[in-house]
Amino acid sequence: MAGMFAIILTLVTFFTGILWFLEKFKWRPARQRKVEEVRKQTDGKIDGKILAQVGSPKSWVDSLASFFPVLFVVFVIRSFIFEPFQIPSGSMMETLLIGDFIAVQKYSYGIKDPITNTTIIPTGTPKRGDIAVFKDPRNPSVDFVKRVVGTPGDKIIYNPENKELTIYPACLSDDNNCQGQQSIPLNLDYTDIEVSGWNEVFSNSGANFYTDKQYAELDLPSNNSVVSFSLNKRQETLGEEKHEILLLPILSFGLNEMYKQPGQKPGEWVVPERSYFMMGDNRDNSDDSRFWGFVPEKNFVGKVSAIWISFEKQPNEWPTGIRFNRIGTVH
């Protein structure tokens, strides 16, 4: 189901649209005919102010109907072309940062009913490497943004110790064959691990991320209530574009903490038909398919295409500046 804003926008657009059409094609012509009748009955000698009162619409009707053209444009753009989203967490760092406002291309994965999210006109499907917004399968009222790692039929293996992916494309779950041929894992072209320039600070209020410069200016308590780590990074290739992933320098979880697919070993998954395996680029700070399973194709909202504004901020805090250098396309 759509979010509450989408439902309200649809209903308000529909209601004002009805008023606009009634005013334009029924009520206004009726008032004009009435004005002509009054003018004829008085041989044109009636006061113009009286005629204006006869021909004027009810103020509330005129006000509501006047909103329809603007609402209709907003409705069409938001429902079928682009929808804005804000990044509230660091799960997609460094690709997307907290405070980024993104434009999501709604038509990439089909023209959909804005209320039920049912595909009306198919236009494409998610591709490996896409950054996509989708409805959380556990709670469809919540929107997530992650990267498409596995497409239908892929076998995904994640090793939490070396934090590397292995992907066998279009594999069958029983014998690892790929469309009748021996499957060869994708070359994800991992680069060497290096320091990222980002620091993660854990406290009672949660986890925050700071650049080296910001971290140096922090006044952290000397007790054990705060723990911090310098994050590592490396490049990974999914699809046509390289992207950087962030990694904690410690083992953050084990195989027993990840989603166990029936018939598969821990840490291994075969993506079902019309489903996808999603992961965040901040690999140790992402609530994704490794922990709760697959995303049905029907849950996808659209493909992230651009950052249109970016604010310097931490979760649940006011912005402290604008990052103009981040405005542009996203890979």
The span from the CA of 114 to the CA of 37, in Å, is: 45
What is the CA 293 to chain-centroid distance, rounded? 18
Write the single-letter amino acid at 166. T
What is the CA 149 to chain-centroid distance, rounded? 16
CA angle (325, 201, 327) in 5-degree steps: 10
Q: Which residues are catalytic?
A: 91, 146
Decide: 277 and 269 in contact? Cβ < 8 Å.
yes
Q: Strand, coil or helix: what is 274?
A: coil
The span from the CA of 63 to the CA of 37, in Å, is: 26
The span from the CA of 115 to the CA of 106, in Å, is: 14
Decide: 154 and 171 in contact? Cβ < 8 Å.
yes
What are the contacts of 70-77 at 24+ separation with CB within 8 A? 71/9, 71/12, 71/13, 71/16, 71/17, 72/13, 72/17, 74/9, 74/13, 75/9, 75/10, 75/13, 75/114
Instruction: For the chain, list the strands marked E by DSSP.
Output: 82-86, 100-105, 111-112, 119-121, 131-136, 139-150, 155-159, 164-168, 177-178, 181-182, 194-203, 206-211, 227-238, 241-247, 268-270, 275-279, 295-296, 300-312, 321-322, 328-329
The span from the CA of 182 to the CA of 321, in Å, is: 53
Decide: 2 and 116 in contact? Cβ < 8 Å.
yes
The span from the CA of 198 to the CA of 211, in Å, is: 5
